[in-house]
Structure 1
Amino acid sequence: MDSAYTAHDSALLIVDPYNDFMSEGGKLYELTKGTAQASGFYENLPRVIQAVRAASLRVFIVPHRRWRPGDYAGWLQTNLSQQGVARTQLFAEGSWGGEFHPGFGPRPGDIVVHEHWAQSGFANTDLDAQLKLHGIRRIILVGMVANTCVESTARFGMELGYHVTLVRDATAAFSAEGMHAAHEVNGPSFAHAILSTDELLAALPRGEQQAGAVRRDSP
């Protein structure tokens, strides 16, 4: 693994931290629950966020487009995911499901980038500009979904010259096969590091001490 992540050049990207994904009762909560439980997602994501904030790394929220009436009307083509968003009104603007999860969403000082329409948090958003303006060259990705929005954002980040880290147990997917593809098949072809939560915390400034503190303080 490369040298430790620092507050000067590293940031955490939390992808799609919506209630519809991450809160019980959300439209996609049950569909991702199996892999989330298997990976320890709901235990590990708070540890990552707490440790990153304690290490003074910047946090970027990378949100999917909130559904609004008229979305996709007149488009020449939509993919299956976009068709599903339209059918279920996923992350609908003004709805509880379209609000950020209270524990995983933005805090004062975080950067919430423009919403992405498909899978990559870079495509047609200000993410690249915001990262460059804040001097970020290393990105750490967590959130939903491992083999779609997380993977697509990470791949695009690599193409743009960022050092890319995936945290395999701080994400989830719709199937075990999706998780396997994200971290065992596809991830090694573009990510510079694929870490567990423990490995990431150990690589953060004062990582060993913070890892212990996070475990002791976690509910």
Structure 2
Amino acid sequence: MSNSSIYAEPAGPALPGSGFTLDLTRAALVITDPQIDFLSPKGATWSVFGDSITENGTVGHIGALLASAKEAGITVAVSPHYFYPTDQQWQFSDPIEQFMHSVGMFSRTGPLTLDGFTDSGADFLPEYREYILDGKTVIASPHKIVGPESNDLVLQLRKRGVSQVILAGMAANLCTEGHLRELLEQGFEAVVVRDATAGPRLPEGDGYLAAVINFRFLASAVWSTEQTVGHLRSA
């Protein structure tokens, strides 16, 4: 178990606020990797992420964000992570890619087939499917490392007039932070929902702690799920 106080927001922050105000007419909820391999005890990486997910209440908080965003009528987008058999032909990879490939994470049988997809580690968590598969949610093409540079998320948001993003999902210091950095570089305002994400715990370090520190430096705002739902209902 962790000492949760190390994740608490600073009582006396030194950095100024951004002055961010949520505008529902140009806002979207973006969820990175809301998939079984991250978020379920049946997933390939639960031993690495499970404690952080459980302590943050990540699964329930992502569900609450999806429900509230649908009620608010804003764009909802999912940026998933998939690996196909042809991705095994890569000639080099970084440590996290090596790990993902070694455990078969996000594995699919091919880009043009859903054979074996349902309830696999690459599938969406069952609790979220009613929101994601409603015919309105944007399911972006897969990102392959940690950021959206290799998929069509930014295009999909631009085409919908989105310039503000509420960001949540997995994993905090990897795909969530990678998406945050690229969205900021692309000119979006981006809020991170700090308890609707989680990070790995390995001898290399606490990924969630690394992420929340960077969120405070980079994001337009860092909110809890409760705060975010309140803003969605009152904006």
Q: TM-score, normalised by structure 1?
A: 0.86
Correspondence for 1:192 = 220
Equivalenced residue count is 202
Tell me, yes or no, if structure 1 residue 116 matches structure 2 residue 143: yes
> Counterparts of 1:205-216 in structure 2 under 5 Å?
205-206=233-234
User: What one-letter code is carried by the residue in structure 1 that aligns with 2:68?
Assistant: A
Q: Tell me how far apart the structure 2 counterparts of residues 13 and 24 of structure 1 sit (CA, whole Å).
A: 23
Q: Tell me how far apart the structure 2 counterparts of residues 2 and 201 of structure 1 sit (CA, whole Å).
A: 16
Percent sequence identity over aligned pairs: 27
Cα deviation code 1:75-119 (max 9, x no counterpart): 2x3101111222222111134111111223413211111101100
Relative to structure 1, the CA distance from residue 114 to residue 181 in structure 2 (aligned partners, 3 Å threshold; closer, same or farther) is same
Correspondence for 2:187 = 161
Cα deviation code 1:125-145 (max 9, x no counterpart): 111111100000001111110
Tell me, yes or no, if structure 1 residue 42 matches structure 2 residue 51: no
Select the residue among 27, 43, 47 that pairs with 1:26.
43
Distance apart, 1:67 and its partner CA: 2.4
Distance apart, 1:2 and its partner CA: 2.2
User: What one-letter code is carried by the residue in structure 2 that aligns with 1:82?
Assistant: E
User: What one-letter code is carried by the residue in structure 1 that aligns with 2:53?
Assistant: A
Give structure 2 stretches of 5+ with no counterpart: 1-18, 109-115
Select the residue among 55, 58, 68 that pairs with 2:84.
68
Q: Tell me how far apart the structure 2 counterparts of residues 167 and 12 of structure 1 sit (CA, whole Å).
A: 10
Distance apart, 1:71 and its partner CA: 1.3
Relative to structure 1, the CA distance from residue 17 to residue 74 in structure 2 (aligned partners, 3 Å threshold; closer, same or farther) is closer
Relative to structure 1, the CA distance from residue 34 to residue 74 in structure 2 (aligned partners, 3 Å threshold; closer, same or farther) is closer
Tell me, yes or no, if structure 1 residue 104 matches structure 2 residue 128: yes
Cα deviation code 1:49-73 (max 9, x no counterpart): 1111110111101011x22223142
RMSD: 1.7
Correspondence for 1:80 = 95
Q: Tell me how far apart the structure 2 counterparts of residues 205 and 101 of structure 1 sit (CA, whole Å).
A: 25
Checking the alignment, whether the CA contact within 8 Å between 1:5 and 1:205 is kept in structure 2 is: no
Checking the alignment, whether the CA contact within 8 Å between 2:44 and 2:104 is kept in structure 1 is: no
Give structure 1 stretches of 5+ with no counterpart: 208-219
Checking the alignment, whether the CA contact within 8 Å between 2:37 and 2:105 is kept in structure 1 is: yes
User: What one-letter code is carried by the residue in structure 1 that aligns with 2:230?
Assistant: A
Q: Tell me how far apart the structure 2 counterparts of residues 124 and 43 of structure 1 sit (CA, whole Å).
A: 29
